[in-house]
Every structure is written in C-alpha cells, then in structure tokens.
C-alpha cells in the first residue's frame, strides 16, 4: 500500500508516542498485567487507523472536456442553488461532499484548465456539515477555467478535526482533470460550484469516488 507524503510526520510521531506508552507500561507494571495487553491492542488499532487515513488509492484518471468529476471521496450532503459571493457574485449550483475520517483525503482537480483564481482563507473550525462552514471555516477557494471558457469553483474546507489544509496549485497553473491538487487532514468537506445550466449527475447521500465519480455535465 502506498502512503501519502503528508502523513509521514504524523505516522512517525504516532508510532513513537505509542511505543513510549507501551514501554512505560511494561516498565512500571508487573509482567503479564492485563493493562499492558490492552494498551498494545489499542495502540495497534490506533496506528492502523492513522496509516489507512494516508493511503493513496489506485485510481484511473478521468478525462473529459465537459464533465466535472468529484474532487474527493465522501458523501454528497448538499445540492442546491446558491449565490456565490467571493468570485462569481451570482447564482450557481453548489454540490458539497462531506469527507469522514475514514475516507481517503487526497483532493483532485475536478476539470482540466487554467487556474484563474486562488485564495487561502484562515477561519473557524466549525463541524464540516455546519451551513456556515463554507464561508467561515479555514478554507481555500480555487477556480479552474476549462478550454471552453467555463469556470468551476471548488473549496477545500477544514472541519472540527481537520486543521491542516494542503494545496499544490497557484493562479496561472494549467492543471489536468483527476490529478492531485491537495490534501485535507482528517474530517472535512469540499464544495463545488457549477453553472446553473449544468446537468447534475449525483443525488443527495450518494457516495463519491474522488477523480472518478461524475458530478455534473457542463453545457
């Protein structure tokens, strides 16, 4: 299993802390004490959970000039018409995907094109499903313009547990659909904003596979 570079430090620190806890318990408690066995079992489970969070799945790259693919794994929790106030300053269709701690947390570019706009916003750490998390939490805003001149905006949004957003793009970059653009550590959310005439291809509660699931068809 391939592991993401964003997890190297966390996995190393977790392993050291768990090792020290187990060594300490074995030193202070009598041989065969029930607490040492319980601590070892709990440590193995915790380390496996941390490692699986940073796994890098094998995914087939999706390439389409008109289709918007999911930028992350997760569950569709919002599909609605909204007024997007940061970039478009007008109505758009919003699709929001909630990422649980058990999901892969790599983020992929939803379309190919040139990045027209990028901004990082420091902010709060409301739970990711809170209605105000899209505008008040720590987040990034990225706008990609495809070769037909259509802009698609998406946001990486930190949640109550996710307090570290990583991105690997900047304004002016030309990016390809389904390539990696960033990472959000632990539970979080991604919002995608498409034109009102885009045909939505998912429903509420649908599970998405990042870089694979088609969210919308652009006109």
What is the distance between the alpha carbons of residues 18 and 24, in angstroms, rounded to a whole number? 10
Catalytic-labelled residue, pool 43, 96, 178, 188: 188
- Tell me whether residue 188 is one of the annotated catalytic residues: yes
HEC string of the chain equals CCECHHHHHHHHHHHHHHHHHHHHHHHHCCCCCHHHHHHHHHHHHHHHHHHHHCECCCCCCCCCCCEEECCCCEEEEEEEEEEECCCCCEEEEEEEEEECCCCCCEEECCCCEEEEEEEEECCECCCCCCCCHHHHECEEEEEEECCCCCEEEEEEEECCCCCCEEECCCCCCEECCCCEEEEECCCEEEEEEECCCCEECCCCCCEECCCCCEEEECC
What is the distance between the alpha carbons of residues 138 and 134, in angstroms, rounded to a whole number? 9
Name the token pair of 118.
Answer: 């990028």
Which residues are the active-site residues? 188
């Amino acid at each position: 299993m391939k592991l993401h570079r964003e997890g190297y430090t966390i996995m190393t620190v977790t392993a050291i802390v768990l090792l020290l806890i187990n060594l300490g318990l074995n030193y202070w408690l009598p041989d065969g004490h029930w607490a040492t066995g319980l601590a070892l079992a709990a440590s193995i489970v915790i380390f496996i959970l941390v490692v699986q969070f940073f796994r890098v799945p094998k995914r087939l790259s999706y390439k389409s000039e008109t289709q918007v693919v999911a930028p992350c794994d997760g569950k569709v929790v919002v599909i609605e018409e909204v007024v997007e106030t940061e970039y478009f300053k007008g109505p758009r269709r919003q699709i929001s995907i909630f990422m649980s701690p058990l999901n892969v947390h790599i983020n992929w570019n939803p379309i190919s094109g040139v990045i027209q706009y990028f901004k990082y916003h420091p902010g709060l750490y409301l739970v990711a499903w809170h209605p105000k998390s899209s505008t008040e939490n720590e987040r990034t805003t990225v706008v990609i313009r495809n070769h037909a001149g259509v802009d698609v905006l998406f946001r990486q949004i930190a949640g109550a547990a996710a307090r570290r957003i990583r991105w690997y793009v900047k304004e002016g970059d030309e990016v390809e659909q389904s390539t990696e653009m960033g990472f959000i550590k632990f539970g979080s959310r991604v919002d995608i904003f498409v034109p009102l005439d885009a045909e939505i291809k998912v429903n509420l509660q649908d599970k998405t596979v990042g870089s694979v699931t088609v969210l919308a068809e652009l006109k």
